[in-house]
Amino acid sequence: MKVVLPHWFDDSFKAQHLMDTAPYEFPEPSLLKPQPRGTGIEGPTLSKDQKTLLRAIELAENGSSKRLKEDLKGNIWQGRRILLSATLALETGRRETVEELIERTGGIVVRAGTSLLEEDAVEEFDVLVTRYREGSAYLRALQLHKTIGTLAWLFHVEYSGSFVSPTKHLLHFPVRPQKIPDLVGKVRFCWETFH
């Protein structure tokens, strides 16, 4: 098993494919090593993945959002309005990466903030990305037949390049917030009995 910096995750999404893990791997990720100054060496030779990532960043920084969409994955979301639920517990940097990914591929991010609660934003979005099957926003979205999926489903749609229903795969639909009563004890008993 490889242990990598969280940067690998973000960089892979920015590049729209899995990056080589070598520069991100512990115990000594080369990505964190300082480069010598004044030696004329500007750093390690860039891999194909790193060049793709730098190209994507350059296009984004130059305001070439239309070109960036065409260059990476196209119009996957087709203007769907997407709300990332607070239940995902995404840190600021990670949330920004996911939002940028959605916008680059034809989606519109709906932001529920201090003035707009998730349950008040149900009319504003087409897709709810949440972790749990609970809460008034989830229940209202379910009643209105909105698309409801997990973060794993969102990444699957991005990776595959096609919009598929989150009900097609078990891990693509939100889970219950609590464990099923008595299941944990029964699973432990079965494990101990047969091993």
CA distances from 166 to 30, 73, 108, 111, 193 (A): 38, 20, 19, 21, 36
Residues of the chain with pLDDT under 70: 33-73, 113-116, 179-195
Kindly report, residue by residue over 98-154, the tens digit of the pLDDT.
Answer: 999 899 999 999 987 645 688 888 999 999 999 999 988 999 999 999 999 999 899
- DSSP lists the bridge partners of residue 84 as 129
Please state the three-class secondary structure of 74-128 as a single string: CCCCCCCEEEECHHHCCCHHHHHHHHHHHHHCCCEEECCCCCCCHHHHHHHCCEE
Per the listing, tokens 């409801």 go with 148
Structure tokens at 78: 């087709």
Structure tokens at 21: 């893990």
Distance CA 55, CA 125 (A): 31
pLDDT reported for residue 62: 53
Distance CA 29, CA 142 (A): 44
What CATH class is the domain 81-172?
alpha beta
- Phi/psi at 27 (5° precision): -90, -15
pLDDT reported for residue 145: 94
Structure tokens at 5: 């910096």
CA distances from 162 to 76, 78, 97, 193 (A): 6, 10, 20, 44
Query: Are 145 and 138 spatial neighbours (Cβ–Cβ below 8 Å)?
Result: no
pLDDT reported for residue 66: 45
Query: Are 131 and 88 spatial neighbours (Cβ–Cβ below 8 Å)?
Result: yes
pLDDT reported for residue 170: 81
User: What are the boundaries of each domain within the chain?
Assistant: 6-31+42-71, 81-172
pLDDT reported for residue 67: 46
Query: Are 15 and 46 spatial neighbours (Cβ–Cβ below 8 Å)?
Result: no
Order of strands, sheet of 127-129, starting from the edge strand that comes earlier in the sequence = 108-110, 81-84, 127-129, 147-149
pLDDT reported for residue 27: 84
